[in-house]
């Protein structure tokens, strides 16, 4: 199964991280968008959602339904 998130359509602070809140298996993770922000003090200005633990995903589709931007898609 392919898990795709369109980064340009994703705005985690605006939606309240709905997909993360919705996933029952903890598959998704918010990471700083800019690599150079990692490990530096201060809050990164942008986060993106990744399917970090995609092997755990059961393709339930709850995150797809939860996303107000239609940024997530699943393809078998
Ligand atoms: S499809 Fe279901 S299990 Fe997979 S990331 Fe989305 S909410 Fe989680
Ligand atoms: S993928 Fe959708 S629900 Fe998840 S953080 Fe981005 S905009 Fe929000």
Summarised one tens digit per residue, pLDDT across range 11-69 is 888 899 999 999 999 999 998 876 555 556 666 567 889 898 989 999 999 999 999 99
Predicted confidence at residue 25, as pLDDT, reads 96
Q: How far is the CA of 8 from the centre of ligand 1 (A)?
A: 20
Q: What is the pLDDT of residue 31?
A: 85
Q: Where are the domains of the chain?
A: 2-75
Which residue, 6, 20, 18, 7, is CA-closest to 46?
A: 7
- 30 by DSSP, 3-state: which? strand
Which H/E stretch holds residue 32?
A: strand 29-32
Ligand nearest to the CA of 64: 1
What pLDDT does residue 35 have?
57
How many whole angstroms from 40 Cα to the centroid of ligand 1? 30
CATH of span 2-75 = 3.30.70.20
**What pLDDT sits at residue 43?**
60
């Amino acid at each position: 199964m392919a898990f795709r998130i369109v980064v340009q359509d994703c705005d985690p602070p605006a939606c309240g991280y709905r997909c993360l809140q919705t996933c029952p298996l903890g598959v998704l993770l918010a990471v700083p968008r800019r690599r150079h922000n990692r490990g530096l003090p201060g809050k990164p200005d942008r986060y993106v959602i990744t399917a970090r633990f995609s092997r755990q995903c059961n393709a339930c589709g709850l995150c797809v339904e939860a996303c107000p931007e239609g940024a997530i898609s699943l393809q078998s």
